[in-house]
Amino acid sequence: MSLDNAHPSNPFNVDFVIPLDISIPKGQGQRAEVVGEIKEGYERLLRALEGEGGLKVGTRPAHSSAKDKKEDGKEKKVEEVWVFVGISDEKLTELVERER
């Protein structure tokens, strides 16, 4: 992400953040399959935003306490990756005009 023309309250020109759940259910039986699905979904999201969408993207692990939660009766460790997205004024104009 560019720091050009950054506002002091938003030095990295982040326009929105997508929290991406990368939690893996407990239990070894399905771990490899779930990891593959998470990786594929993450890569597909980045391709859509950067490649097809032409947006600026940066990522980092979320700073949150990993907790277990029950989902369908199964415990799952809660983890996230934050996807920071920035968009130029020109790209925003293009997207708005395309949606009209």
Summarize pLDDT for 57-83 with one digit per residue, the tens: 888 877 655 455 555 666 555 688 888
Sign of CA dihedral 58, 61, 63, 67: positive
- pLDDT bracket for residue 29 (50, 70, 90): low
Q: Is 55 exposed, middle or buried (0-12, 13-18, 19+ CB in 10 A)?
A: buried
Residue 22 near residue 42 (C-beta atoms within 8 A): yes
Show me where the domains of the chain are located: 16-99
Percentage of the residues of the chain whose pLDDT score is greater than 70: 67
Say if pTM beats, i.e. exceeds, 0.75: no
- pLDDT bracket for residue 87 (50, 70, 90): confident
pLDDT, one tens digit per residue, over 11-28 is 667 888 888 888 776 665
